[in-house]
Structure 1
Amino acid sequence: MQSLTDIADDLKLLGDKTRLAMLSLLKEREWCVCEFLDIFDISQPAISQHLRKLKNRGIVKESKRGQWVHYSLNVEDKPHLKAVLQQMPSSAAILASLNKEVKAPCCD
């Protein structure tokens, strides 16, 4: 079981709208950094910084394929995060709220 401090630190990361949206998208499938660049109107270094913070807490895991890094959710041992993410809207709803559509990944 995680300590209260660890749980609080995890939940602090979800306090950022971009990170919360990223995690919500990751509920349904893995995503490539290039896809996040198309979805969020922020720079590649900012995307990488958000993902680094999530990876450092063990909330996401990465796999490198060629020059691209793909991210997936890693919350099996974090029931507090699973509970929050279950309440989040679907990927389609999140993308619609951002006025974005899912395109074919640029990394394929």
Structure 2
Amino acid sequence: MDQAAAILKLLGDKTRLTMMRILADHDCCVCEFVAMFDASQPAISQHIRKLKDAGLVKESRRGQWVFYSLNRQYEHFEFVQLLMDALPSQEEKLTELEKQGKRISCE
């Protein structure tokens, strides 16, 4: 119960919840989230840090860029996956980013 409450509290923030739903289907870098949410890089980095510190998100380096994805090795991943599956897709955010030419704007 304590772990479930901690996860739900962390995902109680709409931005973090949306980020997690996007990461359920796609790896993303901070610059993509900055463009999607029209937020500052430090604000997005703080959200990512909280998700990463909790173990929900992992990072991988691709050249000089860092991409984030769901941590499928997380001990309560099945619970997180159930939550993500219950949420509507966020594909339109990625589609809009692609239309703007910002899908991968780290280059």
The code of the aligned residue for 1:105 comes to I
SS at match of 1:21: helix
The reply to whether residue 27 of structure 1 matches residue 59 of structure 2 is no
Unpaired runs of 5+ in structure 1? none
Residue number among 2, 9, 34 corresponding to 1:12 in the alignment: 9
CA drift of 1:45 comes to 0.5
User: If the length of structure 1 is used for normalisation, what is the TM-score?
Assistant: 0.82
SS at match of 1:88: coil
1:74-104: CA deviations, max 9, x gaps? 14532221111001111224x28xx943333
Unpaired runs of 5+ in structure 2? none
Q: Residue 59 of structure 2 contacts residue 69 of structure 2 at CA under 8 Å; is this kept in 1? A: yes
**What is the number of residues matched between the two proteins?**
102
Q: Residue 31 of structure 2 contacts residue 106 of structure 2 at CA under 8 Å; is this kept in 1? A: yes
The code of the aligned residue for 1:21 comes to T
> How big is the alpha-carbon RMSD for the aligned residues of Structure 1 and Structure 2?
2.0
Q: Residue 35 of structure 2 contacts residue 97 of structure 2 at CA under 8 Å; is this kept in 1? A: no
